[in-house]
Structure 1
């Protein structure tokens, strides 16, 4: 399968590292113009430099904005008014017991993980519909269907994204715009890697042993018995952004290594 996204502009929120950066690489490799995003100018500039170095023939730009706020979203809209592909990747997570999660933390998780995607989709999807082609993608999680007891607030926001994704797909029926959610399982992203390194140090274990212990104890239903790579998740996103995926919409597609014990 030869995926070509030449002539398409893609925005990937939260894309200076991890899954977001891997998605940006995948889209750029397929020929799309890519707009990167992050809160730090240094990190955005570094990510832009990486992509330009790897794909010199592809147009790459970056927007420094905190998309977890309405003001940050407006900043992006002013710099990039239209897009053909929107990847709502921005998200935060933090292991924390339910009874320790404050109101402020609940609100912050919803602003960053849910409202960032709502605002961006609300702005960019109508233009896609007017042009008769577009792709809106939401990065949810297997935690959306198996709420982790150590991160109830995180899992809840990822469940909300599934509802938003399906609802928007229904709203855009027949327009040529597809809307889908991708559900990664435990993935070796920058944030997760740092989390495991911290825990490994505290427990006097190697990072590999810490990872193996996590899978065995917290995700024992994993069929691949390891963390996924960011590239494995990105490959699904790139496919869904392609013309080849034109009959896939309103769906929630898992890249979870079989963690969710379901045949559908």
Structure 2
């Protein structure tokens, strides 16, 4: 299927690994050029090198507003302002009883998972509007609509992203920029690797056994009984970035194996 992305440029945050990197590969396959952005400079450079022709890398701390401004300046100077923006950077943040988490825990997750997206959008969406065409996809989470008590800081930031995505989509669509969200659940990424390694250590079991118990005890509605693959999320993102998604505005696409118990509303 031709997604109409030949010659387009995409900027992908969190591009060094996981969903961000898989999305880069999917968009490259469709003929787009990609600019990977990540906090980890060496890792994002290696990712771009591995992806090959059409992939470039930039390092930035997206919790720092000045670095986001510098990122935009570098992109404009060295490349071209993107037609597509995929915001995939994020952290799970601190875990624990919601009232026992410290202010710093809440602030860290909010700055990393929410404000980084707002600030990145500020820099890159208006140029798309001026051109009259653009796509932006925000990676949220099942936690945005099905929160887990011990992950409160993550839940709140991701729920905020859904609301922000809907709000922004309503004012940019008239200028040709379509903004949507994708909500994965339990994808095979460095983030969930870390979660499962910690669980395995606590339980004195292998990672595979930790994954199995996690699915049984904490994700009973994930009907496929496995972690999702980054490529499965990337496929949904690539569609939303494409000409084929020309009538999709302010939507939230779940790629969760059934993990969210309710139907979308």
* Matched residue count: 259
The one-character-per-residue Cα deviations of 1:193-220 (angstroms, maximum 9, x if unpaired) are: 1221232133221211111111111110
Task: List runs of 5+ in structure 2 lacking aligned partners.
Answer: none
Task: List runs of 5+ in structure 1 lacking aligned partners.
Answer: none
The answer on whether the counterparts of 2:18 and 2:230 sit within 8 Å (CA) in structure 1 is yes
The answer on whether the counterparts of 1:69 and 1:112 sit within 8 Å (CA) in structure 2 is no
Shift of 1:191: 1.7
The answer on whether the counterparts of 1:8 and 1:33 sit within 8 Å (CA) in structure 2 is yes
Shift of 1:111: 0.8
Give TM-score scaled by structure 1 length: 0.94
- Residue 57 of structure 2 corresponds to which residue in structure 1? 62
Give TM-score scaled by structure 2 length: 0.94
SS at match of 2:249: coil
- Residue 173 of structure 1 corresponds to which residue in structure 2? 173
In the alignment, the residues of structure 2 paired with residue 243 and residue 204 of structure 1 have an alpha-carbon distance, to the nearest angstrom, of: 49
Q: 1:110-259, aligned counterparts within 5 Å?
A: 110-259=110-259
In the alignment, the residues of structure 2 paired with residue 231 and residue 4 of structure 1 have an alpha-carbon distance, to the nearest angstrom, of: 19
The one-character-per-residue Cα deviations of 1:109-167 (angstroms, maximum 9, x if unpaired) are: 11111111101111211111111110011101010001111100101000000011000
RMSD: 1.3
The answer on whether the counterparts of 1:137 and 1:181 sit within 8 Å (CA) in structure 2 is yes
In the alignment, the residues of structure 2 paired with residue 14 and residue 68 of structure 1 have an alpha-carbon distance, to the nearest angstrom, of: 12
Deviates more, 1:16-25 or 1:97-106: 97-106
Shift of 1:32: 0.9
Shift of 1:224: 1.2
In the alignment, the residues of structure 2 paired with residue 31 and residue 75 of structure 1 have an alpha-carbon distance, to the nearest angstrom, of: 27
Q: 1:33-48, aligned counterparts within 5 Å?
A: 33-48=33-48
